[in-house]
Structure 1
Amino acid sequence: MASELQRRKAAVVFGAMDVDTDGYLTESDFAALARRWTASRGLPPASAQARRLTAIMMGWWETLLAASDDDGDGRVTLEEVLAVVDGLAADTAPVVMTADAMFDAVDEDGDGRISAAEYRQLIETWTGRPTDTDEVFELLDGDGDGHLSGDEFVVLWTEFWAGDDPNAAGTWVFGRFGSPLHPV
């Protein structure tokens, strides 16, 4: 059973992905997120970059749907997401696969690193609002070089999805949120 911290982390991401706020994640939510992401970068919808970002988002949807839609209704509830989270500590391979894809999507300039600006864009795209991410980025950037490498991102992403440690930097990979276990 998911801990309170895991529930809160999953709820934060679920709420951001549930674009139409109907309480379910659906293919249309992920398509809307892809449109928001490409628009935030000023990409024409038919451009190669927009198609790549859309493919990554829709691939994540397909992976999530396959892993969690137990009732086969084409929608995913928070409880279904939490059931998947329960099994991630024993098998992190699915998390690593999505981490690699998300890293590629966030690394806008393709330099193999995520900058503070690219990270801010990720968070603002997910939340749909301007967000101060400087403090969190410093926490995530454990070696202090001003960037997140692919390897660093995989660790952070795995700590977020499969971890239950409020002191792990990856707990905050989607930004700060209130937690009774770790005050903001």
Structure 2
Amino acid sequence: MASDLQRRKLTTVFAAMDADADGYLTESDFEALTNRWLTLRGAPDPALSEVMMGWWATLLAASDQNRDNKVTFDEVLAVVDVLPTMKAAVHGTADAMFTAADANDDGKVSSDEYRQMIEAWRGIPTDTDTIFPLLDDDGDGELSRSEFRELWYEFWAGDNASAPGTLAFGPLA
């Protein structure tokens, strides 16, 4: 059973992904999310498009219990309940997001790349200047793939309000 914190985290992300605010996640919501990200990048990026639409396919396969090609909040919540036992799978999605966020392909996510990722997900300008230093475990000004994986895992599978990963998608609603 999801905790209040896990519900708050998921509410923040679900609301951001539900582009048409109809209460369901659909392929068109992920197309809108992909387009927001590409607009922020200012250029076509087939690899980014593939990652984002692949994420939709993964979410649909894991969550859509009644196979209606829509994912409800409760369906996502049911998957979140089992994620603590699926660390490798969560790291796999983290790696895909890391690749998408690493705009200059240098193997690190800078504070600007992180802000761009958050603004793409949320669909609104977001001040990440106070959050990024909390996420940057070693204080080098960038997130390594391993740092990103652990933050991603903590967001999706963790239940510790003071863990930096709780803020991986920006401030909670």
TM range (shorter): over 0.9
**What is the CA-CA distance between 1:127 and the residue it aligns to?**
1.4
Match of 1:135 in 2: 130
- Which one has more relative contact order, counting CA pairs under 8 Å at least 6 apart? 2
Q: Which of 147, 162, 169 matches 1:167?
A: 162
Q: How does 1:1-184 map to 2 (within 5 A)?
A: 1-44=1-44, 50-178=45-173
Give structure 1 regions of 4+ aligned residues with deviation exceeding 2 angstroms. Answer: none
One-letter amino acid of the structure 2 residue matched with residue 70 of structure 1:
Q
One-letter amino acid of the structure 2 residue matched with residue 116 of structure 1:
S
- Higher mean alpha-carbon deviation, 76-85 vs 92-101, is at 92-101
**What is the CA-CA distance between 1:153 and the residue it aligns to?**
0.2
State the secondary structure of the residue aligned to 1:134.
coil
State the alpha-carbon separation in 2 of the partners of residues 2 and 162 from structure 1. 10
Number of aligned residue pairs: give it.
173
For structure 2, the residue ranges without an aligned partner over 5 or more in a row are none
State the alpha-carbon separation in 2 of the partners of residues 129 and 91 from structure 1. 31
* RMSD (Å), alpha carbons: 0.8
> Alignment identity in percent?
61
* TM-score, scaled relative to structure 2: 0.98
State the secondary structure of the residue aligned to 1:135.
coil
For structure 1, the residue ranges without an aligned partner over 5 or more in a row are 45-49, 179-184
**What is the CA-CA distance between 1:120 and the residue it aligns to?**
0.6
State the alpha-carbon separation in 1 of the partners of residues 129 and 62 from structure 2. 33
* TM-score, scaled relative to structure 1: 0.92
